[in-house]
């Protein structure tokens, strides 16, 4: 009986072992199938990944080419324009970019971007005051820094083409600022302004200005771009209520109609405040005044304008007797600066205006002492 019992126990153990082995076999088969499926998926992914990359690259290239068609390419003709001469060159890295040799900076090859760059404060200081009075693009986009020399994508180029600072912001005279009159800052500010070099160069765009003026006895604001499309005579004189200056401004005022007949406006400028201008213009000629002159009186109390035009006399704190002829494109055509004791010849200013306008219209040359009606040199 005991032997039979032992045999039955052995049979039960054998059945259990068979069931366990069968379970292990099924588990192993399932694991093998899963591993095989994973390996197949990996193999398929290894094949598809390069194809996806190529597809995405092709799509990106097509998108970039489409965007590039909307960009300007660099044109060598731009180098011949007066506002770009001497500093503009092509960027070797990209036909969609230009280079400023003066600032050592890469720019978008867009005519508006280049013109706005020519008005940037740092650029003007490095090129001696080359300012273009053209359209201004305003945007809040952040411009690229000088440290970023990598070639931009077309999207970046188009975004950067709008990131230009307004010209009026760069060269605003600062009519509301009183830093120059602060006792604590006077020495520092005076030293800073004495370091400013003359920006007025004949054949180059005239330095921009914006300041308070007295026109027909009323206070207003004027800027150089207000005279775009006309010739302008910018007439600097030393001081209001002086002895020679009234004779010059009265002679100028009495002949304003002759200037306007030549499509020319006249603006007189001194370092006096607009309050002084108002008082002087309301004073009778018999009392040393100029009795409401027919041209604006520009106020330059901070000396910014007279210094940028190179006629400020720092020893005396006012300007010399200087006048500048600026043509309808904003280009400075003529400069005359007299020492203080000698007044100017208004007829000679008119003669020069007629000569410059005649040569512009006929593309001929005017000899010495030329007057209207006399022959020119072709």
In degrees and rounded to multiples of 5, residue 305 shows phi and psi of -70, -50
Write the DSSP assignment of 78-95 as a string of letters: GGGSTTTTTTEEE-TT-T
Indicate the domain borders of the chain.
76-170, 190-362
What CA–CA distance (Å, rounded) separates 150 from 219? 50
Q: What integer is the mean pLDDT of 29-53?
A: 66
CATH number of 190-362: 3.40.30.10
Lowest mean pLDDT among 41-55, 284-298, 328-342, 350-364: 41-55
Global pTM reads: 0.51
For the stretch 181-222, pLDDT in tens is: 333 444 444 444 444 578 999 999 999 999 999 999 999 999
For the stretch 213-232, pLDDT in tens is: 999 999 999 999 999 999 99
With 0-12 CB in 10 A as exposed, 13-18 as middle and 19+ as buried, what is 68?
middle
In the DSSP assignment, the letter for residue 177 is: -
Residues with active-site annotation: 245
pLDDT of 172 reads 38
| Angle in degrees, 0-180, between the axes of helices 244-254 and 346-362, rounded to the nearest 10 | 50
- Half-sphere exposure at residue 238, Cβ-oriented, CA atoms within 13 angstroms: 22
pLDDT of 343 reads 95
Residue 243 DSSP SS3: coil
Q: What integer is the mean pLDDT of 244-273?
A: 96
What proportion of the chain, given as a percentage, has pLDDT over 90? 45
In degrees and rounded to multiples of 5, residue 70 shows phi and psi of -90, 0
Lowest mean pLDDT among 16-20, 107-111, 121-125: 16-20
What CA–CA distance (Å, rounded) separates 132 from 204? 9
- For the chain, list the strands marked E by DSSP: 88-90, 97-100, 105-108, 210-215, 218-223, 231-236, 264-270, 297-299, 312-313, 318-319, 321-326, 332-338
Q: What integer is the mean pLDDT of 15-44?
A: 66
pLDDT of 17 reads 64
| Mean pLDDT for all residues in the chain | 77
């Amino acid at each position: 009986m005991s032997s039979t019992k032992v045999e039955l126990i052995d049979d039960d153990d054998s059945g259990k072992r068979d069931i366990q082995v069968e379970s292990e076999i099924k588990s192993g088969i399932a694991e093998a199938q899963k591993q095989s499926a994973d390996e197949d998926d990996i193999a398929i992914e290894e094949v598809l990944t390069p194809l996806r990359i190529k597809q995405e690259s092709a799509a990106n290239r097509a998108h970039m080419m489409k965007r590039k068609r909307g960009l300007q390419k660099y044109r060598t003709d731009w180098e011949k324009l007066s506002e770009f001469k001497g500093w503009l060159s092509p960027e070797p890295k990209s036909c969609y970019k230009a280079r400023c040799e003066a600032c050592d900076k890469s720019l978008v090859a867009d005519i508006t971007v280049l013109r706005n760059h020519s008005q940037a404060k740092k650029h003007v200081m490095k090129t001696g005051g080359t300012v273009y009075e053209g359209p201004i693009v305003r945007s809040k986009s952040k411009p690229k820094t000088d440290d970023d020399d990598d070639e931009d994508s077309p999207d970046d180029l188009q975004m950067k083409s709008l990131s230009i600072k307004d010209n009026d912001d760069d060269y605003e005279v600062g009519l509301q600022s009183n830093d120059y009159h602060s006792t604590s800052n006077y020495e520092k500010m005076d030293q800073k302004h004495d370091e400013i070099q003359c920006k007025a160069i004949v054949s180059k765009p005239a330095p921009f200005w914006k300041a308070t003026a007295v026109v027909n006895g009323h206070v207003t604001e004027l800027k150089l771009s207000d005279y775009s499309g006309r010739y302008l005579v910018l007439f600097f004189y030393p001081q209001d209520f002086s002895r020679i200056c009234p004779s010059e401004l009265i002679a100028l005022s009495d002949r304003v109609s002759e200037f306007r007949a030549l499509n020319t406006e006249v603006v007189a400028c001194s370092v006096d405040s607009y309050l002084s201008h108002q008082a002087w213009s309301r004073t009778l000629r018999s009392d040393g005044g100029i009795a409401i002159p027919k041209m604006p009186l520009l106020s330059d109390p901070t000396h910014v304008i007279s210094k940028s035009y190179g006629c400020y006399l720092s020893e005396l704190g006012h300007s010399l007797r200087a006048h500048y002829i600026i043509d309808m494109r904003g280009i400075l055509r003529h400069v005359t600066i007299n020492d203080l004791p000698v007044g100017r010849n208004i007829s000679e200013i008119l003669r020069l205006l007629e000569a410059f306008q005649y040569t512009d219209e006929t593309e001929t040359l005017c000899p010495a002492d030329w007057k209207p009606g006399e022959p020119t040199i072709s």
